[in-house]
Amino acid sequence: MKSVLVTGAGGGLGREIALQAARRGCAVGVLDLNATAAQETAVLCGKAGPAALAIGKDLTCNGAPKEAVKEVCAAWGRLDVLVNNAGYGGIEAFLDMTEAMWDRTLAINVKALALACAAAGRVMREQRAGRIVNITSPASRMALPNYAAYAASKAGVDSVTRAAAVALAPYGVTVNSVAPGMMDTEMQRSTEADLAKLEGREDIEAFLAERTRRVPLGRRTDCETVAAAVIWLALDAPDYVTAERLNISGGLDKD
Ligand SMILES: NC(=O)c1ccc[n+]([C@@H]2O[C@H](COP(=O)([O-])OP(=O)(O)OC[C@H]3O[C@@H](n4cnc5c(N)ncnc54)[C@H](O)[C@@H]3O)[C@@H](O)[C@H]2O)c1
């Protein structure tokens, strides 16, 4: 039985990744800032798979990534897979950017993710095995003046992914990332509503349709599709795949 830790698994993409891992027979640590939501996902995973543990935790608190890894290891004796999915992003005009937005975004998307890679990496080094999958975004390579902190944070995720892949390669541990296209999650809905407002667009449906048309495949994706790619990297991909970024963005990202 493999032991998996998924961060930000109280809803959206993270919940779907946790569920697919459970269905594949993994024990799943379900971490989220929202403890009630983490508990709900853990109940679903417990029904779908062998074991689940809810971890209600703010990953940006001092020592939290290390504690989360410790909790999973205490439950199942090892950590085979870490999925760094927890994330935050907010819309604000470039010239009106705030310190609060930068602090909150970088704290979870980059700093906590890097510390979680290191905490899991130390356990995986001893095991001489393990896989880490980080969730990045097409935004990391786009010029997004009204979403600058988020885009920069995801460029940070790409940087940490490369560094972690090289640091952990001598121990047989792989580190890759997945860049999802637009999935209609809670985060995506509120982000696009805020963007429409900032751009003075009241015709939200037309605004969303325009954004969808920019995707070469002409449609949005969903959590099930993106989670399947994460699970493939975490459980099925050849063990020679590391430092890779897998775009599940319908052609939005082109390499
Ligand atoms: N939705 C999209 O279209 C899209 C596109 C590209 C990338 N992504 C990325 O996918 C990942 C999941 O996004 P989602 O759309 O499911 O968002 P979501 O907001 O639905 O889920 C994110 C989860 O992370 C949790 N979280 C946030 N801060 C946390 C913290 N400090 N500690 C612990 N948990 C915390 C939230 O409580 C939430 O449950 C994110 O990394 C996001 O940047 C999403």
Residue given tokens 């907010």 in the structure block: 90
Ligand 1 pocket check: which of 15, 141, 178, 185 to mutate, most ligand atoms within 8 Å of Cβ? 185
What residue's CA is closest to ligand 1, atom 37? 33
Cβ of residue 250 lying under 6 Å from some atom of ligand 1: no
Buried b (16+ CB within 10 A) or exposed e, 51-80: bbbbbbbebbeeebbeebbebbbebbebbb
As a whole number of angstroms, the distance between CA 79 and CA 127 comes to: 9
Which is catalytic among the residues 147, 150, 171, 240? 150
Give the pLDDT confidence score for residue 18 in this predicted structure: 99
As a whole number of angstroms, the distance between CA 29 and CA 113 comes to: 16
Q: Under a CB-based contact definition with an 8 Å cutoff, are residues 42 and 60 in contact?
A: no
pLDDT tens sequence across 182-212: 999 989 999 999 999 999 999 999 999 999 9
Give the pLDDT confidence score for residue 228 in this predicted structure: 98
pLDDT tens sequence across 51-77: 999 999 999 999 999 999 999 999 999
Q: What is the mean pLDDT of residues 79-94?
A: 98
* Averaged confidence pLDDT in the chain: 97
Radius of gyration of the chain from Cα atoms?
18
Query: Is residue 150 annotated as part of the catalytic site, yes or no?
Result: yes
| Confidence tier at 255 by pLDDT (50, 70, 90) | confident
As a whole number of angstroms, the distance between CA 120 and CA 118 comes to: 5
Question: Looking at the domain 3-182+221-248, which fold is it?
Answer: Rossmann fold (3.40.50)
Cβ of residue 85 lying under 6 Å from some atom of ligand 1: yes
How many angstroms does the Cα of residue 109 sit away from the middle of ligand 1?
9
Listed by start position, the domains of the chain span 3-182+221-248
Residue given tokens 């697919």 in the structure block: 20
Q: Running DSSP on this structure, what letter comes out for residue 183?
A: B
Is 147's pLDDT higher than 90? Answer: yes
pLDDT tens sequence across 222-236: 999 999 999 999 999
